[in-house]
Amino acid sequence: MSIDLAAIRAARTAIADVAKHTPVVSSVTLSDGIGGEIVLKAENLQRTGAFKIRGAMNKVASLGEDARHGVVTGSAGNHAQALALAARHFGVPCEIVVPRGAPITKIEACRGFGATVVEHGAALKEAVDEALARAGSTGMTFCPPFDDPAVVAGQGTLGLELVEDVDGLATVVVPLGGGGLVSGVAIAVKSLLPDVRVIGVQAAACAPYAGGAVPDGPVLTLADGVAVKYPGIVTGPLVEQWVDDVVTVSEDEIAEAMVLLMERAKLYVEGAGAVAVAALMAGVVAPAPTGVTCAVVSGGNVDLGVVPGLIRRHEFAAGRRLSIFARIDDRPGRLAHLLSVFATGDADLIEVEHVREGLDLGVRETGIRATFEVRSREEGSQLLAAARAAGYDLEQT
């Protein structure tokens, strides 16, 4: 199967019954803060919460009668849910092999779409190997997450929507993991608008397309959805041919983008889905000087356990949280008095603890760690000064 504009247009017809035409939303915050006109392609609002349904639907549709024996894949992420939904739509059996300990929410989502979920191995590679083995022994078709012409063509339908929806499109910034999305989008967009720049963004923790780090073991990154260690056999040459540039973003930059999208754009976006916005915020991608720059927000399946840490980190960085360590007399009323100093400044106590072990404290002395919510960094500085003026030995932590 060739991957060209005709194939992408055919894919659009094949997936139309399930995949949404997702909206493009303007971002005043990004446009004013960075410069240029910036819009967001909200693929986090797609069915199953990510762009993967486009490729999965087109892959199953392309199998025709060969799909009757079923489809199988190894995945613990967005591709698994997308393939399960696609299989249900076409009425074919589906098996998803996940590593042991995969998130139960994702397992239940796949089962909710009617897939059989098999837990195998401790790592994703073992799950993929088992899925390949099951395909060989059962007659099911193995459906890869990105390295497949039908999958790439399906992902490219997003590019057709951008051409139709964004007047003056000049630059498209796209998350880059295995390369299926960015290459499909680039083929679609550049076939119709050759002068548009398409830029891929990888997490610095795992950036083979950018010539960056490729860890031997597990990849620790907020953007696990793009933590693919090797370019695909199909997608590698396509990225080389069609994509204008590849850049990387750090974990801190990804975290900031996730919070900004939640706080200002009201979009719930996973780490992998936020890397394009992170690249614009960090300045590693400059918005087009004329015309519109579009950041593809590729997915919204956030691990809920990550969110509180993101919010805490952001509030500390913005000066809206203040954490202190103080040494006080270990007698009744002293902690209450210390806290009252902060209360007079309308600081909201979040948590407090006594620390008596592992410190060089006096016999009648205790350590106090406390965290407050404050209105601004300036207010925090004023409260620290007031506490010191009241005789407390404390430091900001």
Q: Which residue has the higher pLDDT, 362 or 166?
A: 166
Q: How many domains does the chain have?
A: 3
Q: What is the CATH number of the domain that holds 379?
A: 3.30.70.260
Question: Has residue 309 been placed in a domain?
Answer: no
Question: Has residue 311 been placed in a domain?
Answer: no
Find the mean pLDDT for residues 357-365: 74
Judged against a pLDDT cut of 80, whether residue 357 lies above it is answered with no
> Could you tell me if 222 and 291 lie in one domain?
yes
CA distance 296 to 298: 6
| CB-count burial class (<10 Å; 0-12, 13-18, 19+) for 358 | exposed
For the ranges 53-57, 203-207, 226-230, 287-291, the lowest mean pLDDT is seen at 226-230
**Which one of 279-283, 305-309, 316-320 scores highest in mean pLDDT?**
279-283
Residues 6+ apart with CB under 8 A from 151: 55, 56, 58, 59, 143, 144, 145, 180
Question: Has residue 34 been placed in a domain?
Answer: yes
> Could you tell me if 105 and 244 lie in one domain?
no
Question: Has residue 193 been placed in a domain?
Answer: yes
> Could you tell me if 17 and 161 lie in one domain?
yes
For the ranges 71-75, 174-178, 186-190, 215-219, the lowest mean pLDDT is seen at 215-219
> Could you tell me if 153 and 135 lie in one domain?
no
Q: What pLDDT is attached to residue 274?
A: 98
Q: What is the CATH number of the domain that holds 131?
A: 3.40.50.1100
CA distance 247 to 173: 10
Name residue 94's beta-bridge partners: 71
Q: How confident is the model at residue 307 (pLDDT cuts 50, 70, 90)?
A: confident
Q: Which residue has the higher pLDDT, 330 or 271?
A: 271
Of 240, 273, 304, which one is at a domain's C-terminal end? 304
CA distance 279 to 175: 10
> Could you tell me if 280 and 194 lie in one domain?
yes
Question: Has residue 310 been placed in a domain?
Answer: no
Residue type, 144: P
**8 Å CB contact between 356 and 366:** yes
Q: How confident is the model at residue 1 (pLDDT cuts 50, 70, 90)?
A: low
CA distance 349 to 89: 51
CA distance 44 to 269: 6
The torsion angles phi and psi of 77, rounded to 5 degrees, stand at -130, -145
**8 Å CB contact between 176 and 201:** yes
Question: What is the edge-to-edge ordering of all strands in the sheet holding 37-42?
Answer: 24-26, 37-42, 292-297, 169-175, 197-203, 245-249
Find the mean pLDDT for residues 333-355: 90
> Could you tell me if 46 and 73 lie in one domain?
no
> Could you tell me if 262 and 156 lie in one domain?
yes
Q: What pLDDT is attached to residue 90?
A: 96
Find the mean pLDDT for residues 44-58: 97
Judged against a pLDDT cut of 90, whether residue 91 lies above it is answered with yes
Q: Which two tokens mark 27?
A: 């971002």
Of 259, 275, 304, which one is at a domain's C-terminal end? 304
Judged against a pLDDT cut of 70, whether residue 358 lies above it is answered with no
> Could you tell me if 31 and 67 lie in one domain?
no
Q: What pLDDT is attached to residue 370?
A: 95
For the ranges 10-19, 93-102, 158-167, 212-221, the lowest mean pLDDT is seen at 212-221
> DSSP 3-state assignment of 75?
coil
Question: Has residue 353 been placed in a domain?
Answer: yes
CA distance 169 to 188: 13
Residues of the chain above pLDDT 90, percent:
78
> Could you tell me if 115 and 156 lie in one domain?
no
Of 251, 269, 304, which one is at a domain's C-terminal end? 304
Round the CA-based radius of gyration of the chain to a whole number and report it: 25
Find the mean pLDDT for residues 313-327: 89
Cα 87 to the center of its chain, rounded Å: 25
> Could you tell me if 42 and 160 lie in one domain?
yes
| Neighbouring C-alpha atoms within 13 Å toward the C-beta of 21 | 9
Q: State the CB neighbour count (10 A cutoff) for residue 105.
A: 10
12-24: pLDDT as tens digits: 999 999 999 999 9
> Could you tell me if 267 and 167 lie in one domain?
yes
Judged against a pLDDT cut of 70, whether residue 138 lies above it is answered with yes
Judged against a pLDDT cut of 80, whether residue 86 lies above it is answered with yes
Question: Has residue 312 been placed in a domain?
Answer: no
Question: Has residue 392 been placed in a domain?
Answer: yes
> Could you tell me if 246 and 182 lie in one domain?
yes
Q: Which domain holds residue 21?
A: 5-50+148-304
295-328: buried (b, 16+ CB within 10 Å) or exposed (e) per residue?
bbbbbbbbeeeeeeebbeebbeeeebbbbbebbb
Mean pLDDT for all residues in the chain: 93
How many helices (H) and strands (E) in the chain? 14, 14
Q: Tokens 């039908």 sit at which residue? A: 150
